[in-house]
Chains A and B, each alone.
Chain A
Amino acid sequence: MTESLWDLLLRSLLPIVGGALTGTIPLALLSFALGLVIALGVALMRLSRIRVVSGIARVYISIIRGTPLLVQLFVIFYGLPSIGVLVDPWPSAIIAFSLNVGGYAAEVIRAAILSVPKGQWEAGYTIGMSRGQTLVRVILPQAARVSVPPLSNTFISLVKDTSLASLILVTELFRQAQQIAAFSQEFMALYIEAAVVYWVICLVLSSAQSVLEKRLDRYVAH
């Protein structure tokens, strides 16, 4: 019995890790990259002096943060078809996760931009730079350093949240575990195995975060 359980865990490791490599990780990476682009745009809109523009960004952030990710995912995958818009599982997941990251990370990026002293903007202006040039060459590199820890949290959360994509039929880590569990009836063992694989991925990400923080350390005064 124990023998065959170990055997089962060992045999299911391949599809579970495979699900991580072909589902969880690409889903997380792609959604995070797209999410950051959205977040930067939303953060800049939120900082705009034009009320309508910052208002739109505010409403967007409020909706994303005020509704469950699972509901957002279901609205896109199960809701949209009823008004005639069919989206496949993978694009649905990427759209939902990117929009979600966009909302959360926008606040992180906004705070990071605001944390850069006003004198840095002024130094940019007085050497002749435009607002955009100062933003890109002076402010964002410094804001990036500040936002690494909170954005790492966002990314690690996202990696775990991609398990929700199993509910819209994306074959990723957790869905693989579910299928093997249902077939073998070893729910406890397989869900713990899935949990361990998530945990290992997040451990790797955490150490990547500290390496990145150290490398960016020169961006701050000591």
Chain B
Amino acid sequence: MSPTDPLAPEPADAIIAAPLLTARGIRKSFGDVEVLKSIDLTVPRGNVVALIGPSGSGKTTVLRSLNGLEVPEAGTVEFSGGDVVDYSRNPTKRQLASLRDRSAMVFQQFNLFPHRTVLENVIEGPVQVQKRPKAEAISDARALLERVGLGAKADAYPFELSGGQQQRVGIVRALALKPQLLLFDEPTSALDPELVGDVLDVIRELATEGWTMVLVTHELTFASHVADTIVFMDGGVVVESGPPSEVLQNPREARTKQFLHRLLDR
């Protein structure tokens, strides 16, 4: 069924860990602007892949193509053991749902449900979608909230929380789904500087626990500590990718060097 070419080159670390998710040839235009020009991305199981690059480079669009929030014109996304979702052939609702069943997302703007309490936010997916017993979902949710230091906030409404607390709820809401893959879309970009640390701590902990994650971020220092693979994008293409020690410390490409310099010069 899967049209995987056995001769297609795989990234080196794919040999160590089998890929959980493979995306190939993702192309996307908004009007006349081609924002993604055939992107390939492999996410090995248990790895953290960080997408970095200047704003407008298309990294968020790549991330959103992995769960069908963005529907590219072409390209395939495939979870190991799952269907190949081929965007050039109008994927069915069921196929998009299969991507979302296996993944969960943390948003830049949190996107918590404002009319539900913290606990209700967290159990919504497990109870309403996954049809897990409510009591079990609640005790799981409470344990997760406890872990991120928000056990006392279970009955609060989102507007009663700080941005950092809301984002930790956002992370817990994603974890409660027990997804195979966690997607983070600039999770700290909307936060006040003093609140960034708490959220990054949680993400770092998840990385050490072995969660598979794709992370769009501007926090390069954080990415260098937490990521197994850094993917540097610019102008809708992957310019360079590899372990942080290569891409961030010894970049090969001029554009990567330029980008890193600009950030370090600030």
Given contacts A119-B107, A123-B107, contact A128 B114 (CB under 8 A): no
Q: Is B27 an interface residue (CB 8 A)?
A: no
SS class, residues of chain B in contact with chain A:
mixed
Report the minimum CB–CB distance from B68 to chain A (whole Å). 8
Pairwise interchain contact A128-B129, C-beta atoms closer than 8 A: yes
Given contacts A122-B69, A122-B107, contact A127 B177 (CB under 8 A): yes
9-residue interface stretch from B43-51, B83-91, B96-104, B208-216: B96-104
Q: Which residue of B lies closest to A138 (CB)?
A: B113
Report the minimum CB–CB distance from A56 to chain B (whole Å). 24
Q: Is B65 an interface residue (CB 8 A)?
A: no
Q: Is A72 an interface residue (CB 8 A)?
A: no
Q: Is B115 an interface residue (CB 8 A)?
A: yes
CB-contact partner of B111 in A119, A141, A145, A219, under 8 A: A119
Pairwise interchain contact B159-A127, C-beta atoms closer than 8 A: no
Pairwise interchain contact A129-B129, C-beta atoms closer than 8 A: yes
A221 to B156, CA, bound (A): 12
Report the minimum CB–CB distance from A204 to chain B (whole Å). 27
A138 to B183, CA, bound (A): 21
Q: Is B109 an interface residue (CB 8 A)?
A: yes
A221 to B160, CA, bound (A): 8
Given contacts A126-B104, A128-B101, A133-B129, contact A219 B114 (CB under 8 A): yes
CB-contact partner of B130 in A128, A133, A137, A219, under 8 A: A128
Q: Which residue of A lies closest to B104 (CB)?
A: A126
Q: Which residue of B lies closest to A123 (CB)?
A: B111
Report the minimum CB–CB distance from B261 to chain A (whole Å). 34
Report the minimum CB–CB distance from A48 to chain B (whole Å). 16
SS class, residues of chain A in contact with chain B:
helix
Chain B 147-178 residues near chain A, CB threshold 8 A: 157-159, 173-174, 177
Chain B 112-148 residues near chain A, CB threshold 8 A: 112-115, 124-125, 128-130
Pairwise interchain contact B128-A122, C-beta atoms closer than 8 A: no
Q: How many B residues, CB 8 Å from partner?
A: 29
Looking at chain A, what size class is its interface with the partner chain?
20 to 34
A67 to B81, CA, bound (A): 59
Pairwise interchain contact B112-A123, C-beta atoms closer than 8 A: yes
Q: Is B188 an interface residue (CB 8 A)?
A: no
Given contacts A221-B158, A221-B159, contact A123 B129 (CB under 8 A): no
Given contacts A133-B129, A219-B115, contact A125 B124 (CB under 8 A): no
CB-contact partner of B114 in A127, A130, A137, A220, under 8 A: A220
Report the minimum CB–CB distance from B179 to chain A (whole Å). 9
What residues of A have a CB within 8 angstroms of the CB of B67 in the complex? 125-126
Pairwise interchain contact B157-A218, C-beta atoms closer than 8 A: yes
Pairwise interchain contact B111-A127, C-beta atoms closer than 8 A: no
Pairwise interchain contact A127-B115, C-beta atoms closer than 8 A: no
Q: Which residue of A lies closest to B117 (CB)?
A: A218
What residues of A have a CB within 8 angstroms of the CB of B101 in the complex? 128
The proximity string for B residues 211-253 relative to A, scoring 1 for CB distances below 8 Å and 0 otherwise, is 0000000000000000000000000000000000000000000
The proximity string for A residues 126-148 relative to B, scoring 1 for CB distances below 8 Å and 0 otherwise, is 11111001000110011001000
> Which residues of B line the A interface, CB within 8 A?
67-69, 93, 97, 100-101, 103-105, 107, 109, 111-115, 124-125, 128-130, 157-159, 173-174, 177, 183
Top 7 closest pairs, chain A to chain B, by CB? A127-B125, A128-B129, A123-B111, A119-B111, A221-B159, A126-B105, A219-B115
